[in-house]
Amino acid sequence: MGTPVRVTSVDPGMVETNFSSVRFRGDEEKAAKVYQNITPLQPADVADSIVWAASRPAHVNIHTIVMTTIDQANSTVFNRRS
C-alpha cells in the first residue's frame, strides 16, 4: 500500500510577528497599533498546535486546525478592549 501520508492544515488567526513591521516599512508605532488592545496568538501557540497534530498516533489524521485569539471573531472582526 505504500507509505501513509498525513496532511494537516493549520490556519492561525492574528499572530504577533514582525510582519507588521515589514508591512509598514519599519514604522514600529504603526506596527504596534495592529496589536493594540488585543491579545494576539504567539508563534509558540502555532508551533504547539503543529507538534500536537504531528504527535497523534499513526492512525490519526488531524485534518484542519483553525485557531484564533479570544479577541478575534473572524478574519476582519476583532474585539479591541479599551
pLDDT for 6-58, tens place per residue? 999 999 999 999 999 999 999 999 999 999 999 999 999 999 999 999 999 99
Domain count, the chain: 1
The answer to whether residue 35 sits within a structural domain is yes
Three-state SS sequence of 34-80:
HCCCCCCECHHHHHHHHHHHHCCCCCCCCCEEEECCCCECCCCCECC
Cα separation, 65 vs 54, in Å, equals: 12
Domain boundaries, position 34: 9-67
Structural domain contains residue 29? yes
pLDDT: is 44 or 76 the higher one? 44
28 within domain boundaries: yes
The reported pLDDT for the residue numbered 8 is 97
Determine, yes or no, domain membership for 4: no
The per-residue pLDDT for 1 is 67
